[in-house]
A and B are shown apart, each in its own frame.
Chain A
């Protein structure tokens, strides 16, 4: 029982991080129909900027938090303006390859800026773990879970309750029709990029204290987040959270009951399974999936 609980805690902590990254994928897909493979790099930029601002420049926690999100959002906007909007024939495959190129560029820039070494940051609050029935849980895990829930709830109300959110969805369903109806579709796409980049930054900020951050951390995290987004159903915010947690818990249980060498295999086996069972639900579909 004690073991099972510890696996669960470990899985939930990792899963919540996958969930934030999956939310970034979902956010962008829902409003533009695009999958951004530079999402993991936004996570990396978030983590490293946070460490620099908080530990390096010793800004207060909330200020560093907000500045990091704003900064990474700006990177997202620049990416959209320079690399995505200027494409003459915006076929989805072309755009996806552009995002892969962008991820390589961002990784290179981060390597020049932060060096090749890993960095670590202190925890948000006290670092003493809680003990529940013999299993231990870091306060940082609770922070992560709480912030994920706040974000997903806010997103839910944003897309369902506000005019901007609805306009964004309209753009994804049919960009031209939305434009004819007077929705500034280009601004909406820009906003979607900024928000998904910001979401990636939040993921990075959350992960920094419990793990080590380096310029090349983004790729694995991005892929895991992508798996989670696919698992939960691309385009659904709650699905992203569910997919992330499920992936994290399954990974932890896989380590516990089978072997630790299977950890990454589980994520990608799940992805293959999903792609096999629901192939149309991924790249081909133009319509937004709803929950």
Chain B
């Protein structure tokens, strides 16, 4: 080996050692603080999810710190923006694990971005609590992956129970052509027979389509007794307008994807009478006093609105719950990831914003039926329907 070659080798070794040294003091378990990683779609088309999630995580961490942290140690958040892009999410997760040395990761906001980093979380053995809805995240169960958002399965079940109670047998479905719509369509078709419901017509629409009367005409000719639309804004608002325009006299159900005041604003008069499942956060005021989650919800709404000066949405709660679940599991773990994971799996009856969580080795979503309530839009307001 030439002298030059050797000096290069020395340089590389020195660099490697230097990198190791610079990383180790950052490790969350070694210092005075516990570091928690966050990856959310803070900007980009899914910012309606990621932005409140980031804010809610910060809120939860400040709340926990103001009560003295966990086992006397403060929490610190390291949050990266994924822009809803799987590649950026993988890069951010790598950075969180190797550079920032976080104890656990909360997020990402979307199903595709979550699926992208699941192999990483499994390999590195780091607890991951996703804020995305897709059922594939926790089914089949992966040891290190948990999630706090409601499954589409649960939303469909809530809608179908309501449809069944009304004695409706035939429905038409209209779903958006993206991951959210496809997942909804899959569940709508799969669960129909269980509730004695027949899907007589299934149609789709593009997320940016400006008119859905053609699809609705086709659905109308199949004579359903109700229509279920599955999508996120703005498509479902166009559907609502078209249904009113075509004077269809059947109930219109929407998914939890539009459960925000924005939908009522977009659809205007056409929103009247629309039925949809939503987390209890939208109707916290209407909950009975006996509901154990009422105080949790009211506390969260009050703190969020006071701090950020903006109305609370149904999505930030996923990150808020994830942080409180994690905090619960971190107690007494002394920063051991294995212990945190095991403790997470044992959490039972934790009252959160989204629902009551009871994890088990077979269920890493842990939400019960109380995660959703049916609401009807009346006079531009959400009206909780008694279950």
Q: Which of B246, B265, B268, B269 contacts A6 (CB 8 A)?
A: B246
Asked if B290 is an interface residue, CB under 8 A from chain A, the answer is no
Given contacts A136-B245, A255-B215, contact A263 B221 (CB under 8 A): no
The interface residues of chain A lying within 8 Å CB-to-CB of B47 are: 116
Instruction: Report how far A38 CA is from B344 CA in the complex, Å.
Output: 51
Asked if A255 contacts B218 (CB within 8 A), the reply is yes
- Mark contacts of B225-243 with chain A using CB atoms, 8 A cut-off: 1 yes-contact digit, 0 otherwise: 0000000011101100100
Expressed in whole angstroms, the minimum distance between the Cβ of A112 and any Cβ of chain B is 11
CB neighbors of A among B59-103 (8 A)? none
Asked if B208 is an interface residue, CB under 8 A from chain A, the answer is yes
Asked if B215 contacts A260 (CB within 8 A), the reply is yes
Asked if B324 is an interface residue, CB under 8 A from chain A, the answer is no
The interface residues of chain A lying within 8 Å CB-to-CB of B262 are: 117-118
Total interface residues on A, CB under 8 Å, equals 39
The interface residues of chain A lying within 8 Å CB-to-CB of B206 are: 220, 263-264
Instruction: Report how far A10 CA is from B203 CA in the complex, Å.
Output: 16
Instruction: Report how far A10 CA is from B241 CA in the complex, Å.
Output: 13
CB neighbors of B among A258-291 (8 A)? 259-261, 263-264
Residues of B in contact with A, size category: 20 to 34
Asked if B45 contacts A216 (CB within 8 A), the reply is yes
Asked if B215 contacts A211 (CB within 8 A), the reply is no
Asked if A17 contacts B210 (CB within 8 A), the reply is yes
Number of residue pairs spanning A and B whose beta carbons lie under 8 angstroms apart: 96
CB neighbors of B among A42-76 (8 A)? none
Asked if B266 contacts A120 (CB within 8 A), the reply is yes
The interface residues of chain A lying within 8 Å CB-to-CB of B45 are: 116, 216
Expressed in whole angstroms, the minimum distance between the Cβ of A91 and any Cβ of chain B is 32
- Mark contacts of A120-156 with chain B using CB atoms, 8 A cut-off: 1 yes-contact digit, 0 otherwise: 1010000101010001101000000000000000000
Asked if B214 contacts A256 (CB within 8 A), the reply is yes
Instruction: Report how far A83 CA is from B2 CA in the complex, Å.
Output: 56
Asked if A136 contacts B246 (CB within 8 A), the reply is yes
Asked if B48 is an interface residue, CB under 8 A from chain A, the answer is yes
Asked if B234 contacts A214 (CB within 8 A), the reply is yes
- What is the chain A residue whose CB lies nearest that of B175? A260
Expressed in whole angstroms, the minimum distance between the Cβ of A161 and any Cβ of chain B is 34
Instruction: Report how far A219 CA is from B312 CA in the complex, Å.
Output: 31
Instruction: Report how far A119 CA is from B204 CA in the complex, Å.
Output: 22
- What is the chain B residue whose CB lies nearest that of A219? B208
Asked if A7 contacts B214 (CB within 8 A), the reply is yes
Asked if B214 contacts A212 (CB within 8 A), the reply is no
Expressed in whole angstroms, the minimum distance between the Cβ of B214 and any Cβ of chain A is 4
Expressed in whole angstroms, the minimum distance between the Cβ of A267 and any Cβ of chain B is 11
CB neighbors of B among A1-49 (8 A)? 3, 6-7, 9-11, 13-14, 17
Instruction: Report how far A11 CA is from B213 CA in the complex, Å.
Output: 9
A sample of 11 inter-chain contacts (CB < 8 A) reads A3-B218, A10-B211, A10-B213, A14-B211, A116-B45, A116-B48, A120-B265, A127-B269, A210-B241, A211-B238, A263-B209
Q: Which A residues have a C-beta under 8 Å from some C-beta of B?
A: 3, 6-7, 9-11, 13-14, 17, 116-120, 122, 127, 129, 131, 135-136, 138, 207, 210-212, 214, 216-217, 220-221, 251-252, 255-256, 259-261, 263-264
